[in-house]
Amino acid sequence: MRWPWAEIRGRLRLTIIVAATKSNGIGHNAGLPWRLPKEMKYFAQVTMTAPEGKVNAVAMGRNTWESIPEKYRPLRRRVNIVTSRNTNYALESSADTSSYLHTSLASALERLNSSDVGNKSLHRVFIIGGASLYSETLALPASSSAFVDRILLTRIMSPDFKECDVFMPDFLKDGVDEGRRWDRASHGDFEEWVGFKVPEGVQEENGVQYEFQMWTRYP
């Protein structure tokens, strides 16, 4: 079943951004099993790019927040949304970056659906990890106040990184029975959406081969 446009217009659209192996491995020992500075630069550029007067939000679980080196927390020039069951969990903040703690995805989405996300209006919302938050947001029904309609995937082609112990859902298989099909966007559409040039084809860095991809689902 396709999503009726009239039913989802105005609802919050979420973009997952993730680097994953061919078997959907995304982490090992609470960190990344690869070191890809150029890929990280791409991540920063994608999540920071916004029109004048607007700002993007990055939503993450507590483990993902803690995996970011302290000197880079919060991620600058973005609204940082962190989910944790610990209501007393303390977040670092800075003079020019807003950080908010929420005990559930539902309460985080309430904030993101409001105007209370900092001094600028919201442009885009990126889900940046970890596995639980990816699963929870991908499972949001079309009838909810928010849904994932785009995945920016850095597909790690080789090596296999079999040591991965954290995995994201196989979004290309999940939801097929419900007609929630994902389609890979053309590279031109990919670049138009992010707003800058993205290297095309398989890239190689520090012995790792990977490819930048964008996947979408529309009503």
For residue 124, give the CATH number of its domain.
3.40.430.10
Rounded CA separation 198/191 (Å)? 6
Position 134 in a domain: yes
3-class SS of residue 195: coil
Position 48 in a domain: yes
Position 5 in a domain: no
**pLDDT at position 116:** 57
Token code pair at residue 141: 């029904």
Rounded CA separation 32/87 (Å)? 27
| pLDDT tens digits for range 144-202 | 889 999 999 999 999 999 999 999 999 998 755 455 689 999 999 999 999 999 999 99
Which residues have a Cβ under 8 Å from the Cβ of 160 and sit 6 or more positions away? 21, 22, 23
Which residues have a Cβ under 8 Å from the Cβ of 48 and sit 6 or more positions away? 56, 76, 77, 78
Alpha carbon separation from 17 to 47, 137, 215 (Å, rounded): 9, 12, 10
Position 58 in a domain: yes
Position 212 in a domain: yes
pTM above the 0.85 mark?
yes
The span from the first CA to the last CA of the chain, in angstroms, equals 9
Look over the chain and give the mean of its residue pLDDT values, rounded to a whole number: 90
How crowded is the C-beta side of 143, counted as CA atoms within 13 Å? 1
Number of domains in the chain: 1
3-class SS of residue 152: strand
Read off the pLDDT band of 3 (50, 70, 90).
Answer: very low
Q: Report, as residue numbers or ranges, the catalytic residues.
A: 32, 39
φ, ψ of residue 139 in degrees (nearest 5):
-85, -5
Position 110 in a domain: yes
| pLDDT tens digits for range 170-182 | 999 875 545 568 9
Read off the pLDDT band of 98 (50, 70, 90).
Answer: confident
Position 92 in a domain: yes
Position 29 in a domain: no
Question: Whole domain around residue 180: which residue ranges?
Answer: 34-216
